[in-house]
Amino acid sequence: MHPSRLPLLESVLEAVSAGIVVVDQDRRIVLWNKWMSRHTGCAAHKALGMDLFELMPELRGGRVEAAVTQALTNHFSSLLSPTLNRAPFPLYSNPAAIARSDRMQQAIAVTPLAFPDGQGGSHCLIQLNDVSMAAAREKLLREQTELLRMQTFSDGLTGVANRRAFDAAIDREVRRAKRNGGMLSLLMIDIDHFKPYNDHYGHQKGDWCLIQVSAALQALLQRSVDMLARYGGEEFAVILPDNDPRQALRMAETLHERVLQLAIPHEYGGPEQQVTVSIGVATLQAGQTATPAALIGAADGALYAAKRQGRNRIVSALPEQAPGGQAP
């Protein structure tokens, strides 16, 4: 290189918005640019000549040391992913971040340095970039995605799973039950005389009632595989994987009883004068070929039988076989 270009190269190294560190074969620091001084608080005159891993003992035994060793002994380059190695170097964006112990998130590249004339032995270049902004943006995007996912699959009023989530879950669970030869039960739950409740107490109180009932039902579902969903209006569905008809009936009784315990007054709610529910129960038996639609139809049929028989009760049914005995 022409000697007149050396000062230019030096100014570039000092001006660049990235950390540049070079260590020799004994891992001693031979180059430490201004960015490193600014973001570590360690000036070049202190860093130069020191063993990098004595200056920053916390790097010992980690991925940075492994990458430097690979570069110096085997001439391998490494990229340390910011996802796996968020902040190995004690680097801070500004003094306030030091006070908060809030390290900058880092992308690190470790490269063996080849000298054109073969002189100088093994050296290793470590480049560090601040990816805090990108990481913060990524976190925000992840949070927004999660929020959207929640909004897409949960009911805006009650917070329980919505119809879209139910449709996906029942499809998945029917397939799983058929694959494993297991059972699957479904409860359809409908609040009795809800139209007169709305008409008499008002729509807002009706909303409140839906929230109370769904929260009470949800609180009784202990297993993570069970799902309560708002099927529509004042109708809820409960998917109970691996539950046989007896277990499903017991769960229906527990849920029915819990709504009675809420003792929500309903002047036009039948003889009980409180909010009650009717429940239809259906079970997909082991080895039976049935579709989600057949299981829902059976539970719905049982629910309407419960309504016809006077409401505030539970009726069980078995699902219809799919035509031809084959699921689609």
List contacts with ligand GTP (CB under 6 A).
Answer: 157, 190-195, 198, 203, 206-207, 210, 233-234, 307, 311
DSSP string, 221-277: --STT-EEEEEETTEEEEEEET--HHHHHHHHHHHHHHHHHH--B-TTSTTTTB--E
SS3 assignment, position 125? strand
**Nearest distance from C-beta of residue 271 to ligand GTP, angstroms:** 13
Residues 6+ apart with CB under 8 A from 124: 22, 23, 68, 71, 72, 110, 111, 112, 113
The CB-of-305 to ligand GTP minimum distance in angstroms stands at 12
> Which residue lies nearer to ligand GTP by CB, 178 or 193?
193
Minimum distance from residue 217 beta carbon to ligand GTP (Å): 16
Task: Choose, from 234, 253, 257, 320, the residue flagged as catalytic.
Answer: 234
Closer to ligand GTP by CB, 24 or 300: give it: 300
Taking the complex as a whole, the smallest distance from the CB of residue 219 to ligand GTP amounts, in Å, to 20
The residue whose two tokens read 């031979």 is 30
Cβ nearer to ligand GTP, comparing 75 with 195: 195
Hey, what amino acid is at 234?
E
Separation of alpha carbons 38 and 67, rounded Å: 24
Tell me if 264 sits within 8 A of 274, measured CB to CB.
yes
CB of residue 272 to ligand GTP, shortest distance in Å: 12
CB of 264 to ligand GTP, least distance (A): 13
| The 235-241 sheet, strands edge to edge | 227-232, 235-241, 184-191, 277-284, 314-317
Q: Is 204 left (phi over 0), alpha (psi -120 to 50) or beta?
A: alpha
Task: Report the residue number, 32 or 194, with the smaller CB distance to ligand GTP.
Answer: 194
Known active-site residue 320: no
Based on CB atoms, which residue is closest to ligand GTP, 87 or 211? 211
Give per-residue burial for 145-172: e unless 16+ CB within 10 Å, then b. eeeeeeeebbbeebebbbeebbeebbee
Q: Which two tokens stand for residue 312?
A: 């505030």
CB-based closest residue to ligand GTP: 206
DSSP secondary structure, 84-124, as one string: T-S--S---SSHHHHHTT-PPPEEEEEEEEPPTTS-S--EE
Beta carbon nearer to ligand GTP, 34 or 313: 313
Catalytic residues: 234
